[in-house]
Structure 1
Amino acid sequence: MANGVTVGEAADMVGLSVHTLRWYEQEGLVEPIDRDSAGRRRYCDDDIGWLRLLIRLRSTGMPVREMRRYAEMVRAGDETLTDRLQLFVEHRERVLARIDELQQDLAMLDIKISLYGEMARAHQESLPVS
């Protein structure tokens, strides 16, 4: 990406809409994106990497307010490293708890699949042969 990519290309690369990318910038999740001589946004590799991180944080359930807080801490510099670490440790604990919940949900689904599979086989076997 020698001169960066357009907002549309960046949106395609990270799987978000153009509207969402602009909203991320408006909300302070992304620093203002550099613009070309015509005033169009040009996303560089670092911008794309940052967006991918934000997408992961969001997909793991981090609230936007915490994502914004994280972005602010990064911009504030190294004096926020301990706070950033704490933010990620706490978020990791929430992710692990959600994984545990999902594993319990999956176990219930497996029980139902097994039960209905057995019932369907028994039903098929009880049908008269034609």
Structure 2
Amino acid sequence: MAITPHDGAGTVFSFGGSNFTVTNIVYNLTDPATDNKIDVSHLGLTAGNTVETMDRPLKGSATDTGREIVIEYLGKNIVEDASSATLVITHAGVQLLSKSSTVMSSSLTFATNDAVKGTATFKVAR
């Protein structure tokens, strides 16, 4: 059987003194300042005109880092929401990330004939 060279097996994360076996990670990187303008172009513009914009009336949170990690893991331990600590992600013994983070949300899923799984969403420091 062929071995997938980019398999994420063996990935773990630790947070607040607990270790978890990872099943999936999604790391979102955005620049919170890029969306401060909105497009107000209209059909009355002719071809070749510059896009018309205006300042967004509602600004994003000043504490938004633009860095979010969603981790799915195995186990019955829930990651406490609103807690802050250093999030460390390692794969095959190699540290991939070590950043100050805050839990934005967390949940556990209990299903018949399946492992207990958790999901945690972290806001990660820049």
Compare CA radii of gyration and give the structure with the larger one. Answer: 1
* Same-fold call, TM cutoff 0.5: no
More strand per residue? 2
Q: Which has the higher contact order (CA 8 A, sep 6+)?
A: 2
* TM-score of the aligned structures, taking structure 1 as reference length: 0.19
* TM-score of the aligned structures, taking structure 2 as reference length: 0.19
